[in-house]
Structure 1
Amino acid sequence: MSVPAAGRVAAVDLGEVRCGIAISDETATIARPLEVVGEGEVEERLRGLIDREGVSVVVVGVPKTMRGEEGPQARKVLEKIGRMRERFPAVRFVEWDERLTTRLAGGGKKKGPVDHLAAAHMLQEYLWARRS
């Protein structure tokens, strides 16, 4: 897994209603949660991050089953990733196994949306993995 030297990395936790977005720092070392947006706003928000923040890689969580298989929800997400790849051909989209990220982000105690925290957790995992 290599990331281009230039450009930030973003992550998206895609949901059917809301989606979490996270972004890395300029050195693509540290992830930070950015925001929770409606499902219909994700591509517009990504366009802004690509144009204004120099995002060149987007990590997207694929919700696999606990057995590591792709169920119906994962297939929906993979279809969305395919559409985003067509819309943003200059951006590299990385499919990332997101099992348990929402639960880890919320710790079972947080109230309200934690999708952006889940995206940041997933992004930090990716950033660590690419450095190993």
Structure 2
Amino acid sequence: MARILAIDYGEKRTGIAVTDELQIIASGLTTIETKNIFSFLTEYLKKEKVELFIVGEPKQMNNAASESEQFIKPFVAKLSLTFPKIPIKRIDERFTSKMAFQSMIDSGLKKKQRQNKALIDEISATLILQTYLHNK
């Protein structure tokens, strides 16, 4: 089997998470500068087989698209064109940043470590991927 790769897309930073080859466990992979996302994915796909992209879909409480969706839609379109053989699924990402921050507190990270926004993005991507795996 191939891996599933989740993307928590942001204007500045993008969190990346990936499954193991059996698609059982979601693990944070990295956080990268958004401007480097396609070069990162191209290099990653040279080394690892990925069968599905999961991209977070930010929504408001009333289920309407959040303001950040305007930045994500063009990214998803380019992702589809750049890697046409890999399907893309969108997963509701409401509360993932808050849940990521709470998981950092629960795991005992110090305040200085919890201010690491890159780590929050990576954990958020992992939560998006875990949501997909749980619901599939």
TM-score by length of 2: 0.86
SS of alignment partner, residue 68 of structure 2: helix
Q: Pairwise mapping of residues 113-128 of structure 1 onto structure 2 (< 5 A)?
A: 113=117, 114-128=120-134
What's 2:63 paired with? Answer: 68
Cα offset for 1:23? 0.5
CA distance in 2 between counterparts of 1:48 and 1:127 reads: 25
Distance 1:45 1:125 in 2: 24
**Which TM-score applies when normalising by structure 1?**
0.89
For the residues of structure 2 that align with 1:111 and 1:71, how far apart are their CA atoms?
Answer: 24
Q: 1:8 aligns with which of 3, 6, 9?
A: 3
Q: Which consecutive segments of 4 or more residues in structure 1 shift more than 4 A?
A: none
The residue matched to 1:9 in structure 2 has which SS? strand
Structure 2 residue identity aligned to 1:111 = Q
2:77 match:
82
Matched, 1:33 2:39: no
Identity %: 28
Distance 1:123 1:42 in 2: 18
Matches within 5 A, 1:13-28: 13-28=8-23
1: distance between equivalents of 2:45 and 2:51?
A: 7
**Whole-Å Cα distance in 2 between the matches of residues 63 and 71 of structure 1?**
5
- Long gaps (5+) in structure 2: 106-113
Amino acid at match of 2:115: K
Q: CA RMSD in A?
A: 1.3
Gap regions ≥5 residues in structure 1: 1-5
User: If each structure's helix is expressed as a fraction of its own residues, which one has the higher value?
Assistant: 2
The total of aligned residue pairs comes to 125
Q: Does 1:48 align with 2:54?
A: no
CA contact (8 A) 1:49 1:55 kept: no
